[in-house]
Copies of this chain bind each other. A is one copy, B any other.
């Protein structure tokens, strides 16, 4: 009970619960991005500043937490596609979104690896996540094709696979950056120099 909330405490409690959930997800995301994958539930609770009881009330276990993280990343990439489409040009919008997808993939790699260790590669969650990303990117590619900013010899699936392949190259982000640049340049006519 919170005495400072005079009317209807329920929405505020829901807001609190949502804040906790978001805080846990943010902490877990940061822990996995920084760490070597070997992140414990206790560490995540500490990082989020919540008790373990709160952590487990939100996520029954490590796997549930990883799944929620994965889904939230997918949603963020899809949301980015919708925002990009109001950009400065269809080719630039596609490129910006592919870079967003690339960094999502780079950040997500430890999460997906962990998740794969805890579930099945054939889990429909993965194919459904991928299908959502493809559906979100489709209008961006269509617009870039229509404006002539982009070459038509690759499908969106091939483009995404190409970006993922670069993201998986071992080495530092600085080592990979010019490889991504080269790859995207080939795709987009407008950035040819």
Contact = CB atoms under 8 A, between A and B. Distances in A.
Interface in A157-189: 158, 161-162, 164-166, 168-171, 175, 178-179, 181-183, 185-187
A183 B181 contact: no
A38 interface: no
B169 A154 contact: no
A193 to B, nearest CB: 9
Interface of A: 151, 153-154, 158, 161-162, 164-166, 168-171, 175, 178-179, 181-183, 185-187, 192
Q: What is the copy number of this chain in the assembly? A: 2
Contacts of A168: 165, 168
B166 A162 contact: yes
Residue from A161, A168, A182, A185 having most chain B Cβ neighbours under 10 A: A182
A144 B20 CA distance: 57
B153 A182 contact: yes
Contacts of A186: 182-183, 185-186
Contact of A162 (B169, B185, B187): B169
Nearest to A170: B161
Given A161-B169, A161-B171, A165-B169, A154 B183 contact: no
Nearest to A186: B186
Contacts of A181: 153
A161 B151 CA distance: 24
A162 B151 CA distance: 20
A186 B166 CA distance: 14
Nearest to A164: B169
A179 B161 CA distance: 9
B154 A178 contact: yes
B162 A182 contact: yes
B192 A151 contact: no
B183 A162 contact: yes
